[in-house]
Amino acid sequence: MKITSLNKATTQAAAVLIGITALSGGTGLFIVAKENSAIAQQAAAAGLLQNHMEADMMHDAVRADVLAALVGGDDAARKQTLDDLKDHLGTLSRTINEDAAFQGVDSIVAATSQLKTPMDAYAAAAQKIVDTAASDPLAARAQMPGFMDQFRALEKSMESASEAIEGHAKEVASSSAALGTVAMIVLFLTLLAGMAAAFLLAQAARRLLVRPLLDLADTMRALDSGDLSVKVPHAAREDELGGMAQAIDAFRDKLKAAEEAKEAQTKLIVETIGTSLDAMARGDLSVEIDAELTGPFAALKRSFNDAAHGLRSLIGTVVTGTENIRTGANEIASASEDLARRTERNAATLEETNAAVNAIDHRLKSIALSANETLSRADGAIAVVGTGRAVADEAVQAMTRVSESAKGIDSVIEGLDKIAFQTRVLAMNAAVEAGRAGEAGRGFAVVADLVSALAMRAEEEAGRARDQLTHTQAEVVTAVDAVMKVDGALADISGDVGQVHALIGTMAEDNNAQSHAISQVSEAIGDMDRGTQQNAAMVEETSAAARNLTQEVDSLADSAASFTIDAPHGHRAAPQRQMDGATLH
């Protein structure tokens, strides 16, 4: 099949895929609908079968209730039996009515329509026996044969209904299974058709689209790597890929033509510029390009000639500058050597000055240490004087207390003197009274004389004690005055020592400050000495560098002399502005 448009072919392939997808989807939806209907029928059949099984159970439960009523029991048991019978009969009637309400299957409708009459007769017989059993158990037992006939009649009808319902359930299950098998087959066939169509479309796409695109990609990579001899495939196709291949073929032809032009231009450049560059590489800066170059190579020719002129000017400037540098380097070397000698002398002088300043610093530090020791001793003397003044103060306070105590003793002595006087007066009065008493008061008179004599002696002793105490007070006052004079002398000594302490402290501070200043001066001189030595070393390095510079300048002059800078006859050096413009271009 011949394809003239990939767009149309892609559209047709998409339409085929959409049709297959729609067919698969429609088939799936139809099968799902059928399956849902089958599931609903199975659910209905299962519900009907379950309902009929419940009715069968109630059929047996009613018989059990009747038997329980015949067994008898107390009132509570009979009441429970009545309640159970009522509940079971209700459930039996409900389930059989639900069976009869089922429509759609003739066999089930015919079987369930025969359940109503035997069920009513069975329920009435059961109710009658249970009611009679409460009052007349024997009569109730007599009714059992008829009840069992009703039981078997209803059982037979329910068996017919069960067979019809079970047959319907099996038929629905078989129909659902068959429908599922058909659905699986249809879905499998639809899926197989879709896979086959997708495979065929993929193969067609690979053959008609992917493989040609890969071939064109390989061709583009070959062209990118420089292989212009590669043949462009699929150029004869009439679709979009054919147009792309034709465009690539045209692009290849243009690249080939450009490459040929490039080779021709390269050959021209080698023949014209290469020779000049070789001569310039050998040191001949007088060479210039004389060949006629057109197009962008004309600017290259102009730029090369301008560059050659610039190099000639630059080498000439280098030669001239080299001579100037040689002269300056010699002067720098001479000045550096002279400066090195002066720097060495300055370093020696600074070293001697530093030694002298260090000696002064040591002496000042010794003086400062002596002043500090003297200051410490003055502090000790001040402390001793302070202790002496404190002791003198304590002595004055003690003597003051002694003087106060003496005043107290004087008052005591005065009191004793008064007591002695009064005692003597009393003794005199007693002697008078004893004289009046006569012989009876003689002994009492003797005692009164003794007491009077003792009182007089006490007055005399009190007088001597007062005199002695007065003398003691006078001595205490004298001692206090002496101690006060000692305290004053100590105060004067303390003041003088304090002044000496202040002077020595000032001297010590001055000495420390001088020592610190001298230390700073010594450090500064040391720094100057080290700096001078470093300067000397740097001057030596500068001198060596100047000598090396002279050697390098000589080498540079020799190298510059190897260039040929005379411009060829008939050519004019391009101006500087033109050279700059060529360089920028």
Q: How does pLDDT run across 25-72, given as a tens digit for each residue?
A: 787 787 777 777 767 766 777 778 888 888 889 888 999 988 888 887
Q: For residue 327, what are the domain limits?
A: 299-420+456-562
Residue 286 above 90 pLDDT?
no
Q: Report yes or no on 25 lying in a domain.
A: yes
Query: Cβ distance 304 to 273 under 8 Å?
Result: yes
- The pLDDT of residue 17 is above 50: yes
pLDDT, one tens digit per residue, over 155-191 is: 898 888 888 888 887 887 887 788 778 878 887 888 8
441 DSSP assignment: G
Residues 91 and 119 both lie in one domain: yes
Alpha helices (runs of H) in 102-143, residue ranges in sequence order: 106-112, 116-135, 137-142
What digits encode the pLDDT tens for the residues 481-523? 877 787 787 788 878 777 777 877 787 777 778 777 777 777 8
Residue 1: predicted pLDDT: 54
Among 117-121, 240-244, 380-384, the least confident range: 240-244
Q: Which percentage of the chain shows pLDDT scores above 70?
A: 89
Tell me the pLDDT band of 554, cut-offs 50, 70 and 90.
Answer: confident
User: Domains in the chain: how many in total?
Assistant: 3
Q: Are residues 513 and 370 in the same domain?
A: yes
pLDDT bucket at 579, cuts 50 / 70 / 90: very low
Q: What CATH number is given to the structural domain containing 386?
A: 1.10.287.950
Whether 168 is in a domain gets the answer yes
Do the Cβ atoms of 115 and 96 come closer than 8 Å? yes
Global pTM? Answer: 0.33
CA proximity to 68, closest of 87, 89, 82, 86: 82
**Averaged over 76-99, what is the pLDDT?**
88
The pLDDT-based confidence of 192 (bands split at 50, 70, 90) is confident
Q: What is the DSSP letter of 440?
A: G
| Predicted confidence band of residue 148 (pLDDT cuts 50, 70, 90) | very high
Counting residues of the chain whose pLDDT is more than 90, the rounded percentage is 3
Give residue-wise pLDDT tens across range 335-394. Answer: 777 777 777 777 778 777 878 778 877 777 787 787 777 778 778 877 877 887 787 778
pLDDT band at 572 (very low <50, low <70, confident <90, very high): very low
- Verify that 67 and 146 share a domain, yes or no: yes
Distances 71 to 19, 65, 137, 394, 431 between C-alpha atoms, Å: 78, 10, 9, 134, 154
- For residue 90, the model assigns a pLDDT of 93
Cβ 105 vs Cβ 169: under 8 Å: no
pLDDT at 3 over 70: no
- Cα–Cα dist 88/54, whole Å: 10
pLDDT value at residue 294: 66
Mean pLDDT, range 280-289, rounded to an integer: 72
By the 10 Å C-beta count (0-12 exposed, 13-18 middle, 19+ buried), 164 is classed as: buried
Asked whether residue 332 falls in the same domain as residue 368, the answer is: yes
Residue 269 lies in a domain: yes
- What does the pLDDT read at residue 566? 66
310 contacts 565 by C-beta, under 8 angstroms: no
| Whether residues 253 and 212 fall in one domain | no
If 0-12 CB within 10 Å is exposed, 13-18 middle and 19+ buried, where does residue 555 land? Answer: exposed
376 falls within a domain? yes
Q: Are residues 412 and 558 in the same domain?
A: yes
- What confidence category does residue 145 fall into, taking pLDDT thresholds of 50, 70 and 90? very high
Residues 6+ apart with CB under 8 A from 459: 417, 420, 421, 424
- pLDDT for residue 154 is more than 80: yes
Last residue of a domain, one of 170, 193, 222: 222
Q: Do the domain assignments include residue 570?
A: no
Average pLDDT over residues 539-567: 74
- Angstrom distance (rounded) from CA 450 to CA 461: 16
State the pLDDT confidence band at 91, using cuts at 50, 70 and 90.
Answer: very high
- Residue 447, pLDDT > 60, answer yes
pLDDT of residue 2: 60
User: Could you tell me the sign of the dihedral formed by the alpha carbons of 31, 36, 42, 44, in that order?
Assistant: negative
Give pLDDT, residue 578.
37
The average confidence (pLDDT) of the chain is 77
Phi, psi of 564 (to 5 degrees): -100, 115
Same domain for 97 and 17: yes
Six-digit token string for 264: 């021709």
pLDDT confidence of residue 121: 92
pLDDT on residue 446: 80
Among 1-15, 114-128, 330-344, the minimum mean pLDDT is found in 1-15
- Residue 580: predicted pLDDT: 40
Is 294 inside a domain boundary?
A: no
Pairwise pLDDT comparison (357 vs 569), residue with the higher score: 357
Residues 539 and 530: their CA atoms lie apart, in Å, by 14
On whether both 254 and 364 belong to a single domain, the answer is no
Could you tell me the pLDDT band of residue 571, with boundaries at 50, 70 and 90? Answer: very low
Angle of the 75-101 helix axis to the 6-71 helix axis, nearest 10: 150
- pLDDT of 474 > 60? The answer is yes
Residues 264 and 157 in one domain: no
Residues 195 and 126 in one domain: yes
Q: Is residue 163 part of a domain?
A: yes
pLDDT of residue 569: 43
Beta bridge partners of 285: none
Residues 6+ positions from 85 with CB-CB distance below 8 Å: 62, 65, 66, 69, 126, 127, 130
Three-state DSSP at 292 gives coil
Q: Is 209 in the same domain as 334?
A: no
Q: For residue 199, what is the domain's CATH number?
A: 1.20.120.1730
Q: Over range 555-569, report the average pLDDT.
A: 66
Among the listed residues 162, 166, 45, 56, the one whose alpha carbon sits nearest the alpha carbon of residue 119: 56
Residues 179 and 268 in one domain: no
For residue 87, pLDDT over 90 is answered with: yes
- Tell which residue, 344, 356, 285, has the closest CA to residue 540: 344
574 found inside a domain: no
Closest CA to 340 of 523, 545, 554: 545
Q: What is the pLDDT of residue 149?
A: 92
